Structure 1
Amino acid sequence: MAIEPVVQEKVYEEIQQELGDDEITHEKLSQLQYLDMAINETLRMYPPFIRFDRVASQDYQLGDYHIPKGTIINVPVYSIHHDAEYWPEPEKFIPERFSSAEKAKRHPVTFLPFGDGPRNCIGMRFALLEAKIAIAKTLRVVEFQKCEKTEVPLGLGKVAVLTPKNGIWVRV
C-alpha cells in the first residue's frame, strides 16, 4: 500500500466508515469490500506459491493430448496471474479487477492463490480473515509510505514460495 497511496486511502476510508473505532467483528469485516479487492489483487500479483502440482487420477483426453493416469500436472499460478489475456496490464495494481462485475467476466481458475478444488489450501479462510484484521487494525493508526529503500517493482526470490528478494521497506 505504500506504493499505492490512493488505494491505501480508499481502504482507510472504508475502514473508518464501516468500523470507526468499534470492535472488529467478523460481521463488520465482511462489509469491507474494497479491502477484499485490495487483498485479492495483492494475492494475484504475489501469490504465496508460484505453482502447485496435481496428479491425474485417471486417463484424460484434453483435445489432441492424452494425459495418462499418474501424470504430474503443473499449474503455473504466477504465470496465470500475470497473463495479459486474463489480466490486462498485469503489472499494475488494480483492486477493481475483483469487483463483482469484473469477477463475473473471468473464468474462475484464472485466480488461484490458494489452489482450487478439494485440495485447495485448508487455511485459506483463516489466512484471509487474519489479513483483513491485521490491515484494519494497522491502518487505523498508521500510514505506509515509500522510502528510499522501497523497491518498485518488488524484486522476488527464485523459489517455489514467493518471497521478496531484498525484503519490503516502507516508512510508517
Structure 2
Amino acid sequence: MSTMMSFLAYSMATNPDIQEKLCTEIDDVMAYYDEPNYEAVSKMPYMDMVVCETLRMYPPVIRFDRHCTENVTIAGIHIPKGMVVAIAIYTIHHNPDIYPDPEKFIPERITKEEKEKRHPYAWLPFGAGPRNCIGMRFALLEAKIGLARIFQNFTFEPCA
C-alpha cells in the first residue's frame, strides 16, 4: 500500500482540483471524529473513489497467472487443461473501451453507477475470484486511515 500512497500523492499533486475536493471531504467528516477510524473513512466516498482510481491507474501487480484445470472454450477460444492463462491487469485498466481517456485521473469513474456499467473483472488491482488478495479490505482501510491523517495536515504540490 505504500506504493499506492506514493502514486496517490503524485496524482493529487498533479490534480489540485481533485486534491481540494478530497481534503474538503476529509475535513467535513473529521469534524465529527477525534481521529481517523473505520467509521470515519467509511463516510468518505470520494476518498474511496480516489484510492480506487489510483489503483486502476497504477495497479500493484501488472498481471497474474491462472492454471486451467479443465478443458474449456470461452468466446470461441479453446483453452486446454494445464495451460497457463496470464491476466494483464495493467492492460485491462488502461483499455479505452472500458475506461475512456484511461491515462487521465478521473475518480468519478468509480461511482456505484459507473461500476455497475462495467464487467466485474474490469478492476483487478487485488485479483478476483477465490484467489483474490485476502488482505484487500485491511490494506484499503489502513491506507485510507493514513491518507485521512496526512491530508488533515498536508497538501501535495509538484516540484520542478
2:57 corresponds to 1:15: no
Aligned counterpart, 2:56? 44
Name the TM-score, length of structure 1 as normaliser.
0.83
TM-score (norm 2): 0.89
**Is the CA contact (8 Å cut-off) linking 2:37 and 2:145 kept in structure 1?**
no
Q: Secondary structure of the equivalent of 1:11?
A: helix
User: Stretches of 4+ moved more than 6 A in 1?
Assistant: none
Larger RCO of the pair (alpha carbons < 8 Å, separation 6+): 2
Deviation string 1:87-130 (CA, Å, 9 cap, x unpaired) is: 00000000000011111111111100000001001111111111
Higher helix share: 2
Question: 2: distance between equivalents of 1:140 and 1:23?
Answer: 10
2:150 pairs, out of 126, 138, 146, with 138
Describe the SS at the equivalent of 2:159.
Answer: coil
- 2-structure distance, mates of 1:62, 1:95: 32
Deviation for aligned residue 1:69: 1.1
| 1:119 equivalenced with 2:131 (yes/no) | yes
Kindly, what percent of the aligned residue pairs are identical? 51
Number of aligned residue pairs: give it: 148
The letter for the 1-side match of 2:61 is F
Query: Which runs of 5 or more structure 1 residues have no equivalent in the other structure?
Result: 149-172
Task: Indicate the SS of the match to 2:66.
Answer: strand
**Secondary structure in 1 matching 2:13:** coil
Aligned-residue CA RMSD in angstroms?
Answer: 1.0
How far, CA to CA, are the matches of 1:51 and 1:67 in structure 2? 18
Gapped runs of 5+ residues in structure 2? 1-11
